[in-house]
Chain A
């Protein structure tokens, strides 16, 4: 365990979205219902670290990220940045902190304004935050940001429009725009899933380089292959909970939770000789409105026992796992 406090620390985060009952629903006094998007998530992220938040659609990984960005309001829990809880802060107090936690989205075709040249797209955040000093200094910061994402020499790109760039180059511009504010934390929400395979590695290597320089990265992804290659830690989410979490290689090579095991078994391997028997879970991504009792994974779990329908397991370190590797399963003997 590191001695210094983590840069970002999320504790017992709960986010629910109310479901609108509609006029008839409220007139007939139907009970209010919620989507339980995130139900008690804790995680920590240090400088120079990439944490991959992995799981299927609807597991709450993006909601967790949005809460960290303070784009949605949690029902409870805390989000401490350098020890200071962001949850009770109002928009005025948040403003100076927002520049320090930046985000890159999945689709660089959507996230860049088609009418903005690269120069303007990267400068815009500086103008909004009234940062970067004089016009000349701002121009320098824009250049520096482009160089950091390996769009160099920057002169080649400054005056281009998004449509004149490839998908990979657009995503680099989006990263540069986030970097212009010199953030401490970067949330990357599926940063390469829209890109061609041939350019994904380039963008991921850029993020890896930034991490090595000290940036803390929270990467949301459904791709375990990418997670194990680039992240230091992996947290696997299922239905609003983290079910397993630990050092990336430990989670992938020595998975403990039945859900992680199943998820890993269905990841296609590039070597046809590595074809393995996938352990396919039946049914669909579960409904976050009606959460199962006990362990929320038990209805799809291949090894569930009766107790799993009653008892809700907490994250703990299994006997067979290394330090800092935790899983939430009743069937795992703990230390």
Chain B
């Protein structure tokens, strides 16, 4: 059996707090990704999805400590620190951020930034790098003439495309897109989703789409992992998650997402707020907000298989009928 393209095993991230405490942002995440696969990583703000993405990229700030394994083609790129991740960052795994403002340098022309990325990684030089930059920009739908523009001179959609072009400059096999369409209009969002869809299909690019927006995931991804309070509480094929959710949080998240097809059914919010992550979590992290909590929930549930490629961390799945 060959190793998956990317495998994350028991990933933990802690942040040092100013008051001397620790915030346990990611609490044992396991994920795997195959070539060409599109995985949605969803959850509310603060659930650890962006931290997970940054940990995979080795881009966490110094205040963070990390444990676990991030395997690329079976090789651990986390254990060796910066030296181990550097040859793979942007080359094998790349990331784009929300609104592209964190991806692009605001005071440099976008073309120059992509040329620099190409040169830095020894992909191309001088005129070849310029030509490759034009090609990259055109391939994501940015007219090559815009290479001489500064990020602020482009519209939000064009900026996001330029950021994607830069992320693709070294032909990575995994693209992590962190809320890539959140600040964009629906029509521009559709254009970016179409672009990502094409990239996955044409280049066997594996995509991790990090977002709070379940309908966007439903539009683009085939698998989905739902994060809550630093852990994955459910993962599986998207259709299964929507039609047969194995965790009340997944069900309630879908119910809280408005849909064009909705009739007069009530649109429900999820009461309360996620637990604080700077103190130990007692029992199921969702039980205070859950509509189906019962006695067993005082014990923290583990992520267990409940169907074909479908795992959930909820005691309801193993509850013995009375």
Contact = CB atoms under 8 A, between A and B. Distances in A.
A286 to B, nearest CB: 11
A323 B172 CA distance: 55
A278 interface: yes
A171 B239 CA distance: 33
Contacts of A273: 239, 242-243
A269 B269 contact: no
A271 B157 CA distance: 26
Given A225-B260, A284-B158, A270 B254 contact: yes
A264 B187 CA distance: 10
Given A229-B267, A269-B219, A197 B212 contact: yes
Q: How large is the interface on B (under 10, 10 to 19, 20 to 34, 35 or more residues)?
A: 35 or more
A122 B262 CA distance: 34
Contacts of A269: 215, 218-219, 259-261
Interface stretch (B50-58, B87-95, B188-196): B188-196
Contact of A270 (B187, B191, B259, B270): B259
Contact of A228 (B243, B257, B262, B269): B262
A163 to B, nearest CB: 14
A270 B269 CA distance: 16
Contact of A263 (B187, B252, B268): B187
A178 B157 CA distance: 34
B219 A201 contact: no
B299 interface: no
A304 interface: no
Contacts of A272: 218-219, 238-239, 242
Given A198-B44, A228-B262, A275-B219, A270 B186 contact: no
A245 B214 CA distance: 28
B218 A275 contact: yes
B304 interface: no
Contacts of B267: 201, 204-205, 229
Given A196-B212, A198-B44, A270-B215, A226 B258 contact: yes
A204 B267 CA distance: 9
Nearest to A169: B273
B269 A199 contact: yes
A224 B261 CA distance: 11
Contacts of A267: 186, 215, 260
Contacts of A201: 256, 258, 267-269
B252 to A, nearest CB: 8
B261 A274 contact: yes
Interface in A46-64: 56-57
Nearest to A278: B190
B218 A271 contact: yes
Given A196-B212, A198-B269, A285-B155, A225 B262 contact: yes
Contact of B253 (A197, A225, A271): A197
Interface in A224-242: 224-226, 228-229
B186 A266 contact: yes
Contacts of B157: 284
A126 B205 CA distance: 57
Nearest to A275: B219
A202 B270 CA distance: 8
B45 interface: yes
B46 to A, nearest CB: 9
Interface string B188-216: 11110110000000000000000011111
Nearest to A56: B185
A280 interface: yes
Contacts of A127: none
A204 B262 CA distance: 15
B213 A197 contact: yes
Contacts of A196: 44-45, 212
Given A196-B45, A198-B270, A56 B218 contact: no
B239 A270 contact: no
A43 to B, nearest CB: 21
A281 B253 CA distance: 30
A10 to B, nearest CB: 24
Contacts of B44: 196-198
Contacts of A222: 185-186
A57 B194 CA distance: 20
A223 interface: yes
A200 interface: yes
10 contacts: A197-B214, A197-B256, A198-B270, A201-B268, A205-B266, A229-B267, A270-B257, A273-B239, A273-B242, A280-B187
Given A199-B270, A223-B258, A272-B239, 6 more contacts: A197-B213, A200-B258, A202-B269, A268-B189, A269-B259, A280-B194
